[in-house]
Amino acid sequence: MTASQHPDEPLTDPAEPARPDADPEPDAEPSGEAVAEAAAGPDGLAEPGQRLLARIVDTLIVGLPVIVVVRELVSGSRVDVVAPPAVAGCLLVYDAVQLAVWGRTLGKRFAGIEVVTATGPRRARLGILRSIARAAVYALPVAVRPVPVLGLLAGVFWVVNAGLLYEGAGRQAGHDRLLNTQVRKRPRSSPPE
């Protein structure tokens, strides 16, 4: 240490020229999740097409078997009255359980997306109550379809709810805003090293 050197400064070899561009510590390698999120886009939010694909897949997984069973058990015009609430009830259970446990349904897995809280810890799961409430937003309009006026209001709700995806930068539909959730692209697992 020289007389002009401060005690807290690191010792340097006087024979080695100082390099102003030298980095004292090498950059840490980004984690697999950080790389995947960067590849998912600047904001990592799910695209509207991904959300639509997930909903179609989930509706087919639940709706087709339920309608087949209802047609076997109920005959005539009563099928149109019984099927929508039956599909809605099954969708409610299907969505709520999977969102609470894994944060995504089979359709969302297929589309590469997941549902997380919009604030708080990154990628936090929704919890049981929020999962049930989010699932109910989808199930209730389906259940009331046989009731003439309520069926019409449910259709208007679906259009407004989907339209809200395009309002603002957060790509949140009405139920996402109400329940403080976000649908994000799921980071792909990094390959084992």
- Residues 125-134 have a mean pLDDT of 90
Res. 145 pLDDT band, cuts 50 70 90: confident
Q: In Å, what is the CA distance from 179 to each residue of 12, 65, 127? A: 57, 30, 11
Q: Does a structural domain hold residue 100?
A: yes
pLDDT over 90 percentage in the chain = 39
Q: Which of 1-5, 141-145, 182-186 bottoms out in mean pLDDT, i.e. has the lowest? A: 1-5
Give the count of domains, the chain: 1
Q: Does a structural domain hold residue 9?
A: no
pLDDT of 33 > 50? The answer is no
Where in the sequence is the domain holding 70, given as residue range(s)? 44-182
Residue, of 174 and 97, whose pLDDT is higher? 97
Q: Give the pLDDT confidence score for residue 133 in this predicted structure.
A: 93
Q: Does a structural domain hold residue 152?
A: yes
Q: Does a structural domain hold residue 167?
A: yes
SS3 158: helix
How does pLDDT run across 88-112, given as a tens digit for each residue? 999 999 999 999 999 999 999 999 9
Q: Does a structural domain hold residue 53?
A: yes
Q: Does a structural domain hold residue 34?
A: no
Residue 146 DSSP label: T
Q: Does a structural domain hold residue 71?
A: yes
- Residues 57-75 have a mean pLDDT of 93
Which of these, 151, 147, 146, lies nearest to 80 by C-alpha position? 146
Mean of per-residue pLDDT scores for the chain: 79
Q: Give the pLDDT confidence score for residue 14 in this predicted structure.
A: 52
Q: At what angle do helices 148-163 and 128-143 cross, to 10 degrees?
A: 130
Q: Give the pLDDT confidence score for residue 39 in this predicted structure.
A: 41
How does pLDDT run across 39-61, given as a tens digit for each residue? 444 468 899 999 999 999 999 99
Q: Does a structural domain hold residue 64?
A: yes
Which CB contacts under 8 angstroms, 24+ apart, belong to 22-30?
A: none
